[in-house]
Amino acid sequence: MRRHEFQPGRLIAGLVLLLAGVLYLLDSTGEADVPWFAVVPLTMGGLSLAALVGLVTYAVRRDRREAISESSDR
């Protein structure tokens, strides 16, 4: 199996959506009373954080690739 890059933004997005699903599951079974207006901002904030982490990861990897290509050109 071919190895792939670690993508922390996708990890954060997955964990946030998993948390939202668990909260809705707990709400539907009656274990917790979670209002919808608590889950929506949590989800949107988590997805925004995931996007920010993804952009930072992309920028760091792009800079590293450019530095490696510049050092190999010399």
Domain membership flag for residue 35: yes
Domain membership flag for residue 48: yes
HSE-CB for 35 with a 13 A CA cutoff: 3
Domain membership flag for residue 49: yes
Domain membership flag for residue 60: yes
CB 34 within 8 A of CB 27: yes
> So what's the pLDDT on residue 74?
62
Domain membership flag for residue 1: no
* Structural domain of 31: 8-73
Instruction: List the chain pLDDT tens, one digit each, 74 residues.
Output: 778 889 999 999 999 999 999 999 999 999 988 888 889 999 999 999 999 999 999 999 888 777 777 777 66
pTM (global) more than 0.95: no
The number of distinct structural domains making up the chain is 1
Q: Which residue reads 């009373």 in tokens?
A: 33
Domain membership flag for residue 64: yes
